[in-house]
Amino acid sequence: MRYILHIADPGYSSWSMRAGLILARFDIPHDLVIHRIYENPPLPMQIGLPPARTVPVLVAPDGTVIRDTLAIAEELASRHPDLPLWSADPALRILARSLAAEMHASFTALRSRCPMCLRVAYDDVPVPDDLAADLDRLEVLWSDALDRSGGPWLAGEWSVADAFFAPVAARIAGYGLPVGPTAAAYATRHLQDDAFVAWRVSGLREGADLHETVYRQPYPRREWPKEIAAKR
Ligand SMILES: N[C@@H](CCC(=O)N[C@@H](CS)C(=O)NCC(=O)O)C(=O)O
């Protein structure tokens, strides 16, 4: 019995990546259906599961359709109580849920100014005040979580909270964003994680080079980093 996860361009769709990493990291049997965000027919028609409008969309083995990454994570946790999707420890579970919820609802400057792109990395990216504020908040959240849990992931073992911040690590890497030593080490952990690396490989292979069109950036390009150096 397998799940079907509808995603879009894995090199660019950060919400797809979050859901895909959760399924991959917890070895939940699934197949991917890959759509193209900026091709016709429009994405909702490609998905073909109205009223689903965005990706990811998960179809459970019993045919139930689940929309929105947070709802997908919660439903997977309900259907697989044996798996520590949110951590098995009650206090760390609350921590993981709080972190994922804040990521889901916030960080608008980071998300709009630095769209995820797993194909190229940039130098000399400006950091206006709203982006700097988002980076400051990351430092606070990540340091607090790693202190409480003892690491190496936000809630100790890898959890949904880490899935939600994996595309943030990709943005820090791709845009060379200035972070301190704790955030740099945590983001590097993502870059070197097998599931992250496998997702990035599919992102390099699948679909058009959107960074040459809709996501084109005016900054000089550099090689994708293997690790992130602290810049604060
Ligand atoms: N709140 C949604 C956001 C999903 C989302 O915005 N997905 C993007 C791809 S990363 C999308 O489908 N964009 C197409 C569109 O907005 O038309 C979630 O958590 O799943």
Give the residue-averaged pLDDT of 29-42.
97
pLDDT tens readout for residues 180-202: 999 999 999 999 999 999 999 99
Tokens representing 114?
């630095």
Candidate CATH numbers 3.40.30.10, 3.30.300.30, 3.30.56.10, 2.60.40.1510; the one for domain 3-79? 3.40.30.10
pLDDT value for 152: 98
pLDDT value for 232: 84
Strand order in 30-35's β-sheet?
30-35, 3-8, 57-59, 65-67
User: Cα separations (Å) of 219 from 29, 117, 176?
Assistant: 40, 13, 11
Contact (CB, 8 A) for 99 and 141:
yes
Atom of ligand 1 nearest to the CA of 55: 12
Give the residue-averaged pLDDT of 63-69.
98
pLDDT tens readout for residues 1-28: 899 999 999 999 999 999 999 999 999 9
pLDDT value for 222: 96
Long-range contacts of 127-131 (CB under 8 A, 24+ apart): 127/177, 127/178, 131/177
pLDDT tens readout for residues 127-167: 999 999 999 999 999 999 999 999 999 999 999 999 999 99
Can you spell out the DSSP letters for 66-89? EESHHHHHHHHHHH-TTS-TT-SS
CA of 15 to the centre of ligand 1 (A): 6
pLDDT value for 118: 98
Residue nearest to atom 16 of ligand 1 (CA): 54
- Is the shortest distance between the CB of 68 and ligand 1 below 6 Å? yes
CATH code: domain 90-222 is 1.20.1050.10
pLDDT tens readout for residues 78-90: 999 999 999 999 9
CA of 47 to the centre of ligand 1 (A): 12
Give the residue-averaged pLDDT of 114-132.
98
Give the residue-averaged pLDDT of 210-223.
96
Tokens representing 148?
């409480």
User: Distance from CA of residue 114 to its chain's centroid?
Assistant: 13
Q: How far apart are CA 45 and CA 100, in angstroms?
A: 29
Atom of ligand 1 nearest to the CA of 14: 10
pLDDT value for 1: 84
Contact (CB, 8 A) for 115 and 125:
no
Please state, for a pLDDT cut of 70, what percent of the chain lies above it.
100
Q: Is 64 exposed, middle or buried (0-12, 13-18, 19+ CB in 10 A)?
A: exposed
Average pLDDT of the chain is: 97
pLDDT value for 87: 97
Q: How far apart are CA 55 and CA 67, in angstroms?
A: 8
Q: How far apart are CA 160 and CA 163, in angstroms?
A: 5
Locate the domains of the chain by residue range. Answer: 3-79, 90-222
Can you spell out the DSSP letters for 92-157? HHHHHHHHHHHHHH--HHHHHHS---SS-EESS----HHHHHHHHHHHHHHHHHHHHH-SSBTTBS
Contact (CB, 8 A) for 219 and 123:
yes
Q: Is the pLDDT of residue 115 over 90?
A: yes
pTM, to two decimals = 0.98
pLDDT value for 10: 98
Q: How far apart are CA 149 and CA 154, in angstroms?
A: 7
Residue nearest to atom 14 of ligand 1 (CA): 54
The backbone torsions φ and ψ at residue 36, rounded to the nearest 5 degrees and listed phi first, read: -120, 120
